[in-house]
Every structure is written in structure tokens, then in C-alpha cells.
Amino acid sequence: MERTLSIIKPDGVQRNLIGEVVKRFEKAGIRIAAMKMLRLTKQQAMGFYKVHQERPFFESLTDFMSSGPVVVMVLEGGDVIQKNRDLMGATNYKEAAEGTIRHDFATDIEKNVVHGSDSPATAATEIAYFFSELEICR
């Protein structure tokens, strides 16, 4: 059993896509083990994305991620990191495969609706950024 962190970004929440994203996870047999809505401060967004701090899009990305509420989830299941990445599609929605969340709903490389951890080590760090072990349902 594997865990990953999913975020429905401010564009997804604002455009009423929470249900659509959650439906896709559930239909794929992924279990939602924890879920909450919150609004990141700029500082918290910078902390979450600190691996990207040298990238030219860091300032804009962290402004965007702190611009409105997000929904954060712990997803659980076999091979769930890859499964979630397959459901999301490529970061750049123009390269995302048909039927993926980003292909269907993203409007911009930045406003790409969802975030998902990219490896087991990242997943552990990202989950711990938002959830204590007590908040994750077994």
C-alpha cells in the first residue's frame, strides 16, 4: 500500500472541480485517507514548493497557490503515486493525454488544477507538510 499527496489548486476549487477530481480518484479505485480545505499563506506556499525556489516561475506559482482555498488529500492504494500521475496528465496541459484531469480542465501551465507527489520520498514529505498521522484514516 502506497500513499501520495494530492492538491486541488485554487483554480480547481474556484471552478467547482472538487467533485469532478474526487470522482475520478474514487472511480480509479483510489482511497481517500484524509482530506481538508485550507488557504495557504504566501510563506506556506513557498515552503511547500521550495524545491522550485530557483525556477523563474516560483514567484508567480506561490502567488497563485496562496490566492484562494485549496483541497489537500492523502490518497492511498497500490501504485497510487503513478496512478495519480496518470489521472492528472502532464504538467503542461498541452502535452497531457486525452481524458486526463489537466487535459480536460487546465487552462495554463501554472493553473493546472491539481498537484501530485512525484516519488515515495516526496510523498512522505508533502503529506507531513499538511497532515499529522492522527488525521490520516486507516
Residues with catalytic roles: 115
Which residue number, 57 or 129, has a Cβ lying nearer to ligand CMP? 57
Q: 95-129 in b/e burial notation, b at 16+ Cβ within 10 A?
A: ebeeebbbbebbeeeebbbbbbbbeeeebeebbee
Using CB under 6 A, pick the residue from 2, 20, 104, 110 that binds ligand CMP.
110
Residue identified by cell 516560483 is 58
Binding track, positions 67-86, relative to ligand CMP; x by CB under 6 A = --------------------
Which residues fall within 8 angstroms of residue 59, CB to CB, at 6 or more apart? none
Smallest separation, CB 34 to ligand CMP (Å): 19
57: contact with ligand CMP by CB under 6 A: yes
CA distance 92 to 85: 13
Where along the sequence are the contacts to ligand CMP (CB under 6 A)? 52, 57, 61, 91, 109-110, 112, 115
